[in-house]
């Protein structure tokens, strides 16, 4: 289809979301580039090779109770009626006991600990009322982690607790998969970074997408605004083909100034142009010299919806990171949500606590105004501003409700999962 045909045809046919995503991800291979990273910088990264403990944890035998370190054989026969008498000392030995605290190193020569409450000082002697076995109340070397144990396998996504474990076994860095390099190119002759004049708009899409990409595990490069000029767009996209992904914002529809898809078609191929989702059906997906190109719409909400649906799974696959579903909260719809059959709709909502009923008493039986166990604790209230260009409808929302293609809407009172997409990495 030529440029003029593309601009006049509109979107007579659109691709289902799942198929569009599959086309984008087809042939995309996870990165094999790796790098060593200091533990303080490794949170959220994917492990590139098996991680092995360099030393045991603990690396010494330790007391697991406050008490006295002893030779177990010296306590044999001790009981409440017939205590064994030991000598308090600084070092262990026959019939000697050394005061220790929880976590203290077990002194050489001792092999057990008698709990403090089982010992009574009588003059210069200690009466022991409990016989202990060898190793009792002692944490052995490697009780937590054995030396040489494999802690994490490749592609495990590191968490702060994991990194604390790695530090405890003597590591200061870990080899991880490199972050996918994502070039974000905002387009539009009306865009400025500050102090807009008449007809000008502050650029937000590129910044937002860059920060989302970083949260999802990418290394974004936020480029300067490129005007709606064929040659300028061609030059900008070509310049960033050394990245793992190129993302453009704006210029993806079929208007006279929507030039990005035809530029990508000239340089490579357009895989999808127009997806059955709302807001944001004018998204386009392509590939140039093997580099995926995600062409996001210019309306802010449509841009964000499509970034979540297409850029996020792309970053996850490239970075060998798990593409987990976003967390959800069950809520009851405050009002009806309309949708077009055949289109997946993302309706922004805010969560409001279910109000307490007047006169309910807190009698412990569920009649305290709180919802019953099987009722959601929140109402899902659609944001007033629902247009795809109203950024505040996302910024002031707590998540969105997804209406599947098979439905023409959801009735008020329906219990729905609210996707907290911005709360997931």
Domain of 388 in residue numbering reads as 328-423
Structure tokens of 265? 């078609």
The Cα-based distances of 150 to 154, 165, 201 in angstroms read 11, 12, 53
Residue 263 located in a structural domain: yes
Residue 323 located in a structural domain: no
356 and 278 in a common domain: no
The predicted pLDDT at position 22 comes to: 97
The predicted pLDDT at position 363 comes to: 43
206 and 103 in a common domain: no
Positions in the chain whose pLDDT score sits under 70: 1-12, 357-374, 384-393
Residue 347 located in a structural domain: yes
The domain tally of the chain equals 4
- DSSP structural state of residue 110: -
**Domain end residue (candidates: 160, 177, 194):** 177
361 and 237 in a common domain: no
The predicted pLDDT at position 254 comes to: 82
Strand bridging mode 245-249 / 62-63: unpaired
- Residue 254: name the closest of 281, 291, 293 by CA: 281
- Residue 258: name the closest of 1, 35, 10, 40 by CA: 10
109 and 51 in a common domain: no
341 and 307 in a common domain: no
**Domain end residue (candidates: 87, 116, 139):** 139
Residue 173 located in a structural domain: yes
83 and 196 in a common domain: no
Contacts of residue 62, defined as CB under 8 A and 6 or more positions apart, other chains included, come to: 103, 104, 105, 106, 138, 139
166 and 83 in a common domain: no
169 and 48 in a common domain: yes
The predicted pLDDT at position 200 comes to: 87
50-101 pLDDT, tens per residue?
999 999 999 999 999 999 999 999 999 999 999 999 999 999 999 999 999 9
Report helix angle 260-267 to 230-239, nearest 10. 60
**CATH code of residue 44:** 3.90.105.10
The predicted pLDDT at position 253 comes to: 84
Q: Give strand pairing partners of 25.
A: none
Beta strands in 143-274 (DSSP E): 150-152, 173-177, 181-186, 191-192, 201-202, 219-222, 245-249, 269-273
Contacts of residue 190, defined as CB under 8 A and 6 or more positions apart, other chains included, come to: 199, 200, 201
The Cα-based distances of 306 to 58, 64, 398 in angstroms read 49, 54, 18
Residue 380 located in a structural domain: yes
374 and 298 in a common domain: no
189 and 160 in a common domain: no
Residue 353 located in a structural domain: yes
295 and 365 in a common domain: no
Look at the pTM and tell me if it is higher than 0.75. Answer: yes
Residue 408 located in a structural domain: yes
382 and 417 in a common domain: yes
The predicted pLDDT at position 137 comes to: 97
**CATH code of residue 253:** 3.40.980.10
Residue 101 located in a structural domain: yes
The predicted pLDDT at position 356 comes to: 72
CA 300 to chain centre: 23
**CATH code of residue 133:** 2.170.190.11
């Amino acid at each position: 289809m030529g440029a003029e045909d593309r601009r006049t045809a509109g979107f007579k046919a659109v691709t289902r979301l799942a198929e569009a995503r599959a086309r984008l991800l087809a042939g995309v291979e996870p990165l094999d580039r790796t790098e060593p990273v200091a533990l303080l910088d490794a949170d959220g990264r994917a492990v590139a090779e098996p991680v092995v403990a360099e030393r045991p944890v603990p690396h010494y035998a330790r007391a697991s109770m406050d008490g006295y370190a002893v030779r177990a054989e010296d306590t044999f026969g001790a009981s409440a009626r017939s205590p064994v008498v030991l000598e308090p000392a600084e070092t262990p030995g026959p019939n000697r006991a050394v005061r220790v605290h929880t976590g203290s190193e077990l002194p050489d020569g001792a092999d057990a600990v008698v709990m403090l409450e089982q010992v009574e000082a009588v003059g210069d002697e200690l009466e022991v009322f409990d016989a202990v076995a060898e190793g009792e109340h002692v944490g052995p070397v490697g009780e937590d982690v054995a030396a040489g144990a494999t802690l994490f396998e490749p592609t495990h996504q590191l968490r702060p607790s994991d990194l604390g474990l790695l530090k405890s076994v003597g590591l200061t860095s870990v080899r991880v998969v490199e972050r996918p390099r994502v070039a974000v190119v905002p387009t539009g002759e009306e865009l400025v970074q500050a102090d807009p004049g008449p007809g000008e708009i502050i650029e937000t899409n590129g910044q937002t997408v860059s920060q989302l990409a970083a949260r999802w595990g990418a290394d974004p490069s936020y480029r300067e605004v490129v005007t709606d000029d064929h040659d300028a767009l061609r030059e900008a996209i070509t310049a960033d083909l050394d990245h793992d992904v190129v993302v453009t914002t704006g210029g993806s529809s079929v208007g006279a100034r929507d030039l990005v898809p035809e530029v990508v078609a000239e340089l490579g191929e357009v895989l999808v142009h127009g997806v059955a989702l709302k807001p944001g059906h004018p998204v386009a997906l392509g590939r140039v010299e093997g580099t995926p190109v995600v062409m996001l719409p210019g309306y802010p909400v449509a841009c964000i919806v499509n970034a979540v649906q297409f850029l996020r799974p792309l970053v996850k696959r490239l970075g060998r990171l798990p593409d987990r579903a976003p967390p959800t909260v069950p809520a009851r719809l405050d009002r009806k949500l309309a949708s077009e059959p055949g289109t997946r709709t993302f309706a922004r909502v805010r969560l409001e606590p279910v109000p307490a009923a007047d006169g309910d008493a807190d009698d412990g039986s569920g009649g305290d105004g709180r919802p019953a166990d099987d009722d959601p604790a929140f109402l899902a209230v659609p944001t007033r501003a629902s247009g795809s260009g109203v950024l505040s409808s996302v910024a002031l929302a707590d998540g969105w409700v997804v209406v599947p293609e098979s439905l023409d809407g959801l009735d008020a009172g329906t219990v729905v999962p609210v996707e907290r997409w911005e709360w997931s990495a």
